[in-house]
């Protein structure tokens, strides 16, 4: 009996027809494991994971392999995107056991949930030094039956180690350091030491888009004006926008590049990458004015709103790497097809995108080959001929079988994109994008919040909202609400304050000043996880620290700063040395050591808005309202009136303001002066 058909997760439903007797995570599986004295085989993955599909085809769809699994284990399937708490706990165990992690993740547990052995992808049979899955299960069965004491000892040792987070314990032991701007200098130097000056990025292949590091460096450049800082940004953004990791035909980015040249991606597209990269390219455009950065923003947002949007405003999680069982097939082009579609323009397209008869990618499982489009010359601006040809290629590609869609809506990932979408709408004067952002915000409020106000992690059209939201969800939503308060309506500050209050109530760690992953009302796992590292997405603690500091600057509520400042003081030393792992947190640190530039716009004037939201002003906050509105929500709007009946801007620091101005030129000068004062 397979119990996954009624689950809301597309990933779990992908396995509903397996011959494996799968359980979803829950009490029923553990009860059976205790009753039958069997270990639990926990398999964790996600719907757009290529190697998850490979292991499923090789093993979980094979009746002989399934028979071994069903006879010896209680089998549990988990979607890591729905249950990041479960995933993080057992990923820590696998990394401790093997020195590496990833998905699919396979972990063997005692019936009470303690891990004792695990790994990532296992082939069906022994291959290239990797043990076959059946042989692994034979070995686990043997030690479980014949060396139970060793299993229990291993489980006890792992559980003890996991119960004490090494970093959290170290933070408490070392104590808090005074906050100093020198940490930001050290962090920039650390990124510079890892920078690939030829190909961009920070480190060797595989290369993941370093969106958060780019944001940090852009803010540093606005402050220090150092050409070397900007070079790290532009080299990386140019390489990614030219490479195969970017979809030149339909917009959007793949999850990462398997090579150092950003050419060959794993083709899955994740919503969180689109969110973070839209923000990075938007801010790069605001700083440099480079047209291709704006184009990337526009094309990526168009992709998300075209392919990942539910009709009511929610955003889906991801698109698969595979279509028709072949990795990358949807995105590859043969020379013959491209020549046919592009006609007289084919020679120009072939030259620009490096298309060859042999192609530059071959699916290792099927042998299917083709060319990934990539701009040979990073600096070449697209011509009208190329644009027209790409439009025809898009039309042809729309006749193909699309990659699989993970159509669940995740609160945290939606909130990340919501923030970037609202910022882009304000910066580029796109009311249609703002309308989409507001529809998304209302969707999250309506579908991912229970009647009692408790937020939920995941939503699907078939089952509605499910699973309690984790700290990442609350902290990302806090950031989105603060952004909407700045660029749309100051009334969103009430939502932001409510979200912050619940973040503290459910997740706060009184000892570290940070936040646990799971709420006080969540099920008890073998440990209560807490994440400090910025990986593919910002950590819950980085999101919370910056969001609370932004909210404090807008509301004047200094109590909101206390926990973030304490946490940042504890993380300062490690964040400075390992900046790539704390790149988002550095934004919070920058706010903590920099008095904010506070801007209040009274009355509506698009030219004044453009001066504020059409440039990058690090460590700043801004609000806009009609005369007399918003004063109860923020002191920035108290006693702020029109001057001579005209919309007026107030530029302040620590709620002490310069002379009010009414023209965009005067406002630009005030902001320039405030930024210049920081450099002195």
The predicted-structure confidence for 506-527, as pLDDT tens digits, reads as follows 999 998 899 999 999 999 999 8
Residue 158: the pLDDT is 80
Residue 169: the pLDDT is 61
Residues 6+ apart with CB under 8 A from 547: 475, 478, 479, 482, 496, 500
Pair 361, 328: CB distance under 8 Å: yes
Residue 569 C-beta-side C-alpha neighbours within 13 Å:
16
Domain co-membership, 300 together with 336: no
Dist. CA 566–CA 63, nearest whole Å: 55
Residue 167: the pLDDT is 64
Domain co-membership, 390 together with 422: no
Q: pLDDT (tens digit, 9 = 90+) per residue, 551-603? A: 999 999 999 999 999 999 999 999 999 999 999 999 999 999 999 999 999 99
Q: Which residue has the higher pLDDT, 101 or 405?
A: 405
CATH code (residue 640): 3.40.30
Residue 166: the pLDDT is 56
Among residues 98, 113, 99, 102, the alpha carbon closest in space to that of 42 is found at 113
Q: pLDDT (tens digit, 9 = 90+) per residue, 77-89? A: 999 999 999 999 9
Residue 192: the pLDDT is 97
Give the end of a domain, one of 402, 425, 445. 402
Q: pLDDT (tens digit, 9 = 90+) per residue, 448-483? A: 999 999 999 999 998 899 999 999 999 999 999 999
What is the biggest distance separating any 2 CA atoms in the chain, rounded to whole angstroms?
A: 88
- In-domain check, residue 177: no
Strands (DSSP E) found in 548-608: 597-602
Asked whether residue 419 carries a pLDDT value surpassing 70, the answer given is yes
Residue 171: the pLDDT is 65
Among residues 9, 85, 168, 86, the alpha carbon closest in space to that of 470 is found at 85
CA-derived radius of gyration, the chain: 26
Structure tokens at 332: 């590859």
Q: How confident is the model at residue 165 (pLDDT cuts 50, 70, 90)?
A: low
- In-domain check, residue 1: no
Domain co-membership, 545 together with 418: yes
The CA–CA distances, whole Å, from 163 to 1, 168, 596 equal 34, 11, 38
Pair 30, 97: CB distance under 8 Å: no
Domain co-membership, 430 together with 548: yes
Count of CB atoms within 10 A of residue 71's CB? 11
Domain co-membership, 339 together with 219: no
Domain co-membership, 236 together with 299: yes
Place of tokens 């995941």: 458
Asked whether residue 24 carries a pLDDT value surpassing 90, the answer given is yes
Give the end of a domain, one of 348, 367, 402. 402
CATH code (residue 107): 3.40.30.10
Q: What whole-number percentage of the chain has pLDDT above 90? A: 87
- In-domain check, residue 172: no
Q: What share of the chain is helix, strand, coil (3-state, %, to 5)?
A: 50, 15, 35
pTM across the whole model: 0.95
Q: pLDDT (tens digit, 9 = 90+) per residue, 29-52? A: 999 999 999 999 999 999 988 889
Q: How confident is the model at residue 168 (pLDDT cuts 50, 70, 90)?
A: low
Domain co-membership, 315 together with 347: no
Q: How confident is the model at residue 172 (pLDDT cuts 50, 70, 90)?
A: low
- In-domain check, residue 97: yes
Structure tokens at 593: 């050591």
Give the end of a domain, one of 542, 576, 593. 593
- In-domain check, residue 173: no
Domain co-membership, 130 together with 60: yes
- In-domain check, residue 159: yes
Write out the residue range of the structural domain in which residue 567 sits: 182-321+406-593
Domain co-membership, 575 together with 604: no
Domain co-membership, 358 together with 426: no
- In-domain check, residue 2: no
Residues 6+ apart with CB under 8 A from 398: none
Domain co-membership, 218 together with 80: no
Q: What whole-number percentage of the chain has pLDDT above 70? A: 98
Residue 658: the pLDDT is 86
Q: What are phi and psi of 459, to 5 degrees?
A: -135, 145
Asked whether residue 266 carries a pLDDT value surpassing 80, the answer given is yes
Q: pLDDT (tens digit, 9 = 90+) per residue, 223-264? A: 999 999 999 999 999 999 999 999 999 999 999 999 999 999
- In-domain check, residue 3: no
User: Buried b / exposed e across 585-607, counting CB within 10 Å, b at 16+?
Assistant: bbbbbbbbbbebbbbbbbbebee
Domain co-membership, 143 together with 272: no
Q: How many domains does the chain have?
A: 4
Asked whether residue 173 carries a pLDDT value surpassing 60, the answer given is no
Residue 653: the pLDDT is 85
The burial class, CB within 10 Å (0-12 / 13-18 / 19+), for 127 is exposed
């Amino acid at each position: 009996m397979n119990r996954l058909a009624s689950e809301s997760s597309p990933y779990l439903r992908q396995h509903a027809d397996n011959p494996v007797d799968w359980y979803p995570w829950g009490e029923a599986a553990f009860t059976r494991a205790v009753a039958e004295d069997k270990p639990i085989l926990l398999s964790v993955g996600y719907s757009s994971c290529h190697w998850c599909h490979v292991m499923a085809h090789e093993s979980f769809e094979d009746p002989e392999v399934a028979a071994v699994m069903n006879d010896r284990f209680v089998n549990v399937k988990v979607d890591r995107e729905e249950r990041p708490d479960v995933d993080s706990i057992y990923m820590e165990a696998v990394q401790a056991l093997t020195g590496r992690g990833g998905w699919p993740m396979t972990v063997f547990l005692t019936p009470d949930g303690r891990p004792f052995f695990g790994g990532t992808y296992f082939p069906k049979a022994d291959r290239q030094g990797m043990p076959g899955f059946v042989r692994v299960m034979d070995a686990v069965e043997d030690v479980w039956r014949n060396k139970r004491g060793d299993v229990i000892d291993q489980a006890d040792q792992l559980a003890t180690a996991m119960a004490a987070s090494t970093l959290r314990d170290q933070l408490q032991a070392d104590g808090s350091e005074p906050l100093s701007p020198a940490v930001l200098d050290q962090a920039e130097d650390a990124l510079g030491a890892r920078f690939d000056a030829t190909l961009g990025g920070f480190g060797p292949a595989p290369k993941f888009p370093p969106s958060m590091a780019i944001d940090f460096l852009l803010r540093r450049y606005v402050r220090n004006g150092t050409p070397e800082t900007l070079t790290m940004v532009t080299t990386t953004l140019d390489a990614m926008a030219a490479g195969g990791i970017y979809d030149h035909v339909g917009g959007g980015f793949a999850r990462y590049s398997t090579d150092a040249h950003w050419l060959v991606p794993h083709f899955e597209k994740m919503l969180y990458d689109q969110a973070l990269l839209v923000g990075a390219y938007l801010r790069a455009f605001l700083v440099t004015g480079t047209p291709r950065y704006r184009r990337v923003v526009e094309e990526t947002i168009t992709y998300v709103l075209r392919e990942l949007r539910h009709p009511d405003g929610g955003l889906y999680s991801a698109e698969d790497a595979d279509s028709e069982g072949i990795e990358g097939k949807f995105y590859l082009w043969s020379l013959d097809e491209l020549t046919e579609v592009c006609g007289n323009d084919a020679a120009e397209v072939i030259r620009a995108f490096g298309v060859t008869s042999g192609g530059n990618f071959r699916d290792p499982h099927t042998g299917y080959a083709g060319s990934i489009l990539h701009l040979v010359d990073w600096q070449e601006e697209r011509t009208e001929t190329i644009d027209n040809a790409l439009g025809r290629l898009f039309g042809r590609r729309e006749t193909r079988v699309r990659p699989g869609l993970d159509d669940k809506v995740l609160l945290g990932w939606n909130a990340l994109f919501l923030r970037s979408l609202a910022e882009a709408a304000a910066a580029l004067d796109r009311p249609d994008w703002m309308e989409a952002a507001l529809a998304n915000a209302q969707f999250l409020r309506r579908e991912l919040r229970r009647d009692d106000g408790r937020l939920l992690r995941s939503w699907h059209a078939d089952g509605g909202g499910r699973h309690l939201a984790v700290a990442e969800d609350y902290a990302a939503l806090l950031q989105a609400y603060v952004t909407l308060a700045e660029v749309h309506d100051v009334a969103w500050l009430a939502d932001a304050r409510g979200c912050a209050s619940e973040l503290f109530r459910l997740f706060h760690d009184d000892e570290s000043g940070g936040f646990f992953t799971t709420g006080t009302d969540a099920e008890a796992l073998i440990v209560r996880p807490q994440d400090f590292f910025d990986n593919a997405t910002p950590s819950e603690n980085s999101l919370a620290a910056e969001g609370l500091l932004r909210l404090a600057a807008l509301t004047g509520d200094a109590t909101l700063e206390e926990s973030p400042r304490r946490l940042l003081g504890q993380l300062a030393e490690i964040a400075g040395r390992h900046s790539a792992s704390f790149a988002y947190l550095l934004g919070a640190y920058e706010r903590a050591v920099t008095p904010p530039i506070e801007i209040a716009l009274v009355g509506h004037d698009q030219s004044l808005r453009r001066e504020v939201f059409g440039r990058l002003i690090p460590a700043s906050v801004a609000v806009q309202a009609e005369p007399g509105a918003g004063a109860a929500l923020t002191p920035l709007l108290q006693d702020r009136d029109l001057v001579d009946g005209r919309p007026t801007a107030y530029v302040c620091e620590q709620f002490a303001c310069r002379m009010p101005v009414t023209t965009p030129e005067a406002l630009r000068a005030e902001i320039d002066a405030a930024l210049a004062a920081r450099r002195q």
